[in-house]
């Protein structure tokens, strides 16, 4: 459309088209990254290179990446961070975990909803949680997610599609750091996904 009819669009129409292109491209890249992560974990020995990470820097970059998608559903993402916080983790794996959990939170939160990201420091480790006030899940659904032995995915609140790979990847990457994915949710009340990472080697 842009190549063939560029001169027929006004600035407002062009802006709308570019906004859609921006969101669509980011979603495509995100899907491709998930597929590559899954392939590497299933078919090859994925490189595990943990090092000290600036926690807020990593999370803020991912929040900025998903802001346009959240804005499309009028969802507010809140993240109060401590710039001095660090964790000992593989950067690629950590970023993949946060991307997937944040993407799921947006997917299953209704318009005008809210997502809160919290980081809490304990002795020797840091807990990261992503909480939403979306549609939530019943206990049977939570138990199915804990199994994570099949790729299952239901449509989001705006009929978003998924591959079902996201949580599978999160679980494997968190366990690689000797952690555990925790899920706390109630139907109609939202969900909280949390995990812990060590502060040092």
* Mean pLDDT score across all residues of the chain: 83
- Count of the separate structural domains present in the chain: 1
Q: Is 77 a member of any domain?
A: yes
What distance separates the 2 farthest-apart alpha carbons in the chain?
A: 61
**What is the per-residue pLDDT for 49?**
87
Q: Is 2 a member of any domain?
A: no
* Strand 76-79 relative to strand 114-122, pairing: parallel
Q: Is 80 a member of any domain?
A: yes
**pLDDT tens digit sequence for 126-182:** 999 999 999 998 888 888 776 655 455 666 665 565 556 778 888 888 998 999 999
* Residue 88: CATH number of its domain: 3.30.565.10
Q: Is 71 a member of any domain?
A: yes
Q: Is 1 a member of any domain?
A: no
Could you write out the DSSP letters of every residue in 115-165? EEEEEEEETTEEEEEEEE-SS---HHHHHHHHH--S------TT-----S-
Q: Is 3 a member of any domain?
A: no
**What is the per-residue pLDDT for 183?**
93
pLDDT above 70 coverage of the chain, percent = 80
Tell me which residue range forms the domain holding 102.
8-198
81, 59 contact by CB (below 8 A): yes
b or e along 120-144 (b: 16 or more beta carbons within 10 Å of the residue's beta carbon)? Answer: eeeeebbebbbbbbbbbbeeebeee
Residues in the chain: 201
- Three-state DSSP state, 112: coil
Give the contacts of 147 (CB within 8 A, at least 6 positions apart): none
Q: Is 166 a member of any domain?
A: yes
User: Which of the two residues, 33 and 41, has the higher pLDDT score?
Assistant: 33
Q: Is 194 a member of any domain?
A: yes
How far, in Å, CA of 179 to CA of 171, rounded? Answer: 9
């Amino acid at each position: 459309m842009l190549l063939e009819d560029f001169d027929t669009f006004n600035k407002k129409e062009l802006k709308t088209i570019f906004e859609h292109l921006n969101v669509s491209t980011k979603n495509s890249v995100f899907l491709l990254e998930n597929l590559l992560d899954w392939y590497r974990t299933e078919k090859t020995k994925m490189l595990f290179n943990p090092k000290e990470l600036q926690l807020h820097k990593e999370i803020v970059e991912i929040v900025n990446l998903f802001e346009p998608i959240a804005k499309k559903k009028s969802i507010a993402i809140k993240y109060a961070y401590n710039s001095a916080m660090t964790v000992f983790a593989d950067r690629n794996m950590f970023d993949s975990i946060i991307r997937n959990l944040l993407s799921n939170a947006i997917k299953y939160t209704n318009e005008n909803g809210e997502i809160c990201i919290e980081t809490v420091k304990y002795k020797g480790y840091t807990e990261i949680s992503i909480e939403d006030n979306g549609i939530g899940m019943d206990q049977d659904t939570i138990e199915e997610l804990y199994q994570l032995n099949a790729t299952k995915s239901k449509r989001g609140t705006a009929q978003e599609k998924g591959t079902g790979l996201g949580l599978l990847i999160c679980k494997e990457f968190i366990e690689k750091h000797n952690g555990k994915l925790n899920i706390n949710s109630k139907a109609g009340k939202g969900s909280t996904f949390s995990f812990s990472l060590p502060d040092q080697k």
